[in-house]
Amino acid sequence: MELLSLKGVYQTFPIREKELVILDNINLFINEGKFVSMVGPSGSGKSTILRIIAGLLNPTSGEVICKGEKIKGINPYTSMVFQTFGLLPWLDVTENITIGLEARGMPIKERLRKAFKYIDLVGLEGFEEAYPRELSGGMKQRVGIARALVMEPDLLLMDEPFSSLDVFTAENLRSEIINLWMSGKLSVKSILLVTHNIEEAITLSDQVIILTSHPGRIIGNINIELERPRVRESVEFNNIYDKIYSMVIGSTVATKEVKPLQGT
């Protein structure tokens, strides 16, 4: 079943009397039960697409449809995990996780019940009363993940969630996310992850959408049917890696030859 679709989405940005095209005719569909990644070089507008899906940004034209509804303003079926965590330093872990529920007007008892469920699921038990300054990057991102999950979205959006973490921490969090996803304990129906790390995309996803830059355009959409847990050393894994890698690199080179880069 289709959970989300983007139809003919354009995003332009005025710069010195010219319209800089950030996203050029983006059409995509996400079905329920899928872990989807978007990969592409910087400037491919992948984070912009996430913001449009979340309703944080209105596209210049085109539409976002989620659960059959045309989205105007904030998309109530999504929540987001950010690269830089976005925690409030003056709130402890539990308060950071429940702040969104509080904004929804949920009574405190209910808020705490939900918070503890997700604190447990993401392994934050024992850290409930810690403040962000006491936490390592990995623990901060667990708070970021719990804060998004507690809203019980249909679609979880993740914007480069592991890229500001060291390799070990990222490795661990990736394996935990996939375990959670496979466990069936989440209300989340689908996940859309933005990353520039192709290996990460293949390790995690059922489907990888490949973007090119300047302007952002979708140039590929690959289904990945490898069994989990996925072995990076396997031939199949490497074949998919090479395929995506050459698409990303190929497109970048081609674009550079045709016209000079615009913007960053």
Partner 1 sequence: MDVSPLPYVEIGKLLGMLVYLEDLDGKTDVYAISDDMGLEMDELVNIIKVAELLGFVEVKEGDLYITEIGKDIVYGDENRKKTIFKRAIKKLSHFRRLVGALKHSQDQSIPKSKVLDFLLEEMSEDEANESLKSIIELGRYAELIGYNPESKELYLDKVDEE
* Least separation in angstroms between CB 36 and partner 1: 23
In this complex, which beta carbon is closest to partner 1, that of residue 183 or of residue 264? 183
Of the candidates 125, 221, 238, 250, which one interacts with partner 1 according to CB under 8 A?
125
Using CB under 8 A as the binding rule, whether residue 115 contacts partner 1 is answered as no
By CB under 8 A, the count of residues binding partner 1 is 31
Of the candidates 1, 167, 235, 258, which one interacts with partner 1 according to CB under 8 A?
167
Beta strand pairing call for 2-15 and 18-31: antiparallel
* Least separation in angstroms between CB 176 and partner 1: 7
* Least separation in angstroms between CB 1 and partner 1: 28
CB-based contact 154:3 (threshold 8 Å): yes
Of the candidates 166, 242, 254, 261, which one interacts with partner 1 according to CB under 8 A?
166
Of the candidates 55, 86, 138, 220, which one interacts with partner 1 according to CB under 8 A?
138
Using CB under 8 A as the binding rule, whether residue 95 contacts partner 1 is answered as no
Give the up-direction half-sphere exposure of residue 27: CA atoms within 13 A in the CB hemisphere. 3
Stretch binding partner 1 (CB under 8 A), from 28-36, 73-81, 118-126, 143-151? 118-126
How far, in Å, CA of 78 to CA of 148, rounded?
9
Of the candidates 4, 81, 97, 121, which one interacts with partner 1 according to CB under 8 A?
121
* Least separation in angstroms between CB 97 and partner 1: 15
Query: How many C-beta atoms surround the C-beta of residue 84 within 10 A?
Result: 14
Residues that bind partner 1 (CB under 8 A): 92, 120-123, 125-127, 129-131, 134, 136-139, 165-173, 175-176, 179, 183, 231-232
